[in-house]
Each structure stands twice: as structure tokens, then as C-alpha cells.
Amino acid sequence: MDNISTIILAVSLIIIMLGMGLSLVTDDFRRILVHPKAILIGLINQLLLLPLIGFGLATMLNLPNEIAIGIMILAACPGGPTSNLIAHLAKGDLALSVSLTAVSSLITIVTIPFVINFALAHFTGEGQLVQLNVLETIVQILVIVVIPVFIGMLIRRYKTDFAMRMAKPVRIASGIVLALVIVGIVIKEKENFISYFEQAGIAAFLLNAFSMALGYFTAKWASLPIKQARSISIESGIQNGTLAITIAVVLLESTAFAIAPAVYSLIMFFTGGLVIWLGNRRTAV
């Protein structure tokens, strides 16, 4: 992508994260103290087990370097606004979902550079290494993720009516932006996309399915209520695809690294729909 495209992508993510901030209040963070076990299980799944699953899949499937790095970028990212929406529609614990998204978004500011640098070093080798500057990356993620969320929370606090009115339009806009970004990547990589999809599709699906299943069963193992188990499952498996694509395109300047996140962003809507159906079916029963 050219410079204009990368700027548009970064600005789009800023708007999306601002929209997520509109749905957050300070009580969402206080819940960490009220439900520490649920938060802890969710964070272990997101920050530790998910990258391990991504690395295991990339290694066992012997993925091409570009796809393997894309999978690791995804595994390093937190949940996003889509996970909150799916948790709500699946009759999960929405407060827990929002809290996990918010907290993991803050923590991954620090963890993302280290996970991605490890992936770059491991899968490309020293001769081709594209090193991420840790401090610079932290600052960039702060600018495009945390600061917009904070501004959104301020708007929610002092202009509540406006924030509530804007929540739905911003969600719709987020979906449109993600769709346009995926189309742009497909066009840019049109000669290789079919091959990339064949290579990335299975890995992206397995990353999504394994992480959701593991999130659910670890929550049940910890004797958490079914609603919290659903939310942890969703937060573990529905990653912030837009952020992953932004990291690949804007920070690493590679649309090839963005193929796996783009494929994943399509797949997660199908698995998310299945989770919503199962959640509503079990609730009805």
C-alpha cells in the first residue's frame, strides 16, 4: 500500500478505537477487582496461551514466512470491538468482555513489539530481519489505540447522550472500514491471494477455533459461570483484526504480512455467528 493508504488505515483504526472508548466507563476497569478470577483467566488465554497456539500452528503447519508472521501478529493483538458485540449477541457477560478488551489493549502495548520481534527473528532469519523498534512501536500503538479510547471515554463521561447516539454508527463504520481494507489488500496481492488464502485459511481457522475452545474450557475448569465462559471464549478467539492489519501495513510496511489477519477477519465472523447461535440456543433451552 502507498503512503496515503497507510495513513487512511491508521486514521480509520483511530476512529474505530475512539468508538470503542464511547462504550467504556471507569466501572469497566473497577470490575477487575470485583471479578479477579475471570479477568485473570481471560488475560492468561489472551496474552500467554494465544501466542503459544499461534506459534505452534505456524511451526507444525510449516507455514510460509509471511503467513507465519501474520499469524503471530494476530496472536499478539488484543480483542476488539467486534468481540464485545459478539459477546453481547451470544448472551455472554458483556461487562467482562468489555473489561478484558480494555485491559488487554493496555497490556499489549508492551507485549506486541516483543512477540512480533520474536516472530520476525524466528521465521525470517537474521539475514532478512525487519526489526521493530520497541519504544517507537509502543508510542505508535499508544497514539492509534489507547489515546483514542481515552478520548472516547471522556466523551462518554461528559457527553453521554452523544456517545450513545454515536455507538451504533461507529460500529457500522468499523465494519465498512475493515471490509474496504481487506478488499484493498486483496487487490494489492491479487496475484498471490488465492495461494495465500489456501495457506492461511486453515491456520487462521485453527487459531480461531483452538483459542476459543481453550478459552471456554479453561473458564469452565476454573468453575466460572457459563456467561463468563462464553465471554472468555470469545475474547480469546476474536482478535482485533484491524489492529493486526494496521501493524502489518503501517508499522512493518508489508501487505503480505496482512494476508493472514485479513483471512482471519473473514473467518471470525462465521465462527462468531456460530457462537451467537449456540449461545442463544442454550439460553432458550
Question: In whole angstroms, what is the distance from residue 79 CA to residue 104 CA?
Answer: 7
Residue 6 one-letter amino acid:
T
Evaluate if residue 72 carries a pLDDT over 50. yes
CATH 3.30.420.40 assigned to 3-284? no
Residue burial 96-134, b: 16+ Cβ < 10 Å; e: rest: bbbbbbbbbbbebbebbbebbbebbebbeeeeeeeebee
The predicted pLDDT at position 57 comes to: 92
Evaluate if residue 37 carries a pLDDT over 60. yes
The predicted pLDDT at position 9 comes to: 60
Nearest to 132 by CA among 239, 250, 51: 250
Give the best-scoring range by mean pLDDT among 89-103, 121-135, 227-241, 244-258: 227-241
Question: In whole angstroms, what is the distance from residue 90 CA to residue 238 CA?
Answer: 13
pLDDT (average), residues 154-172: 77
Nearest to 137 by CA among 224, 33, 247: 247
Q: Which DSSP state fits 272? A: H
The predicted pLDDT at position 219 comes to: 92
Map out the domains of the chain as residue ranges: 3-284
List, as one string, the DSSP characters of 28-63. HHHHHHHSHHHHHHHHHIIIIIHHHHHHHHHHHTT-
The predicted pLDDT at position 251 comes to: 78
Which backbone phi and psi does 79 adopt, to 5 degrees? -70, 170
pLDDT in tens, 187-207: 665 666 676 677 788 888 999
The predicted pLDDT at position 178 comes to: 58
pLDDT (average), residues 249-270: 81
Q: Record the cell numbers describing residue 167, joined without a space.
A: 455507538
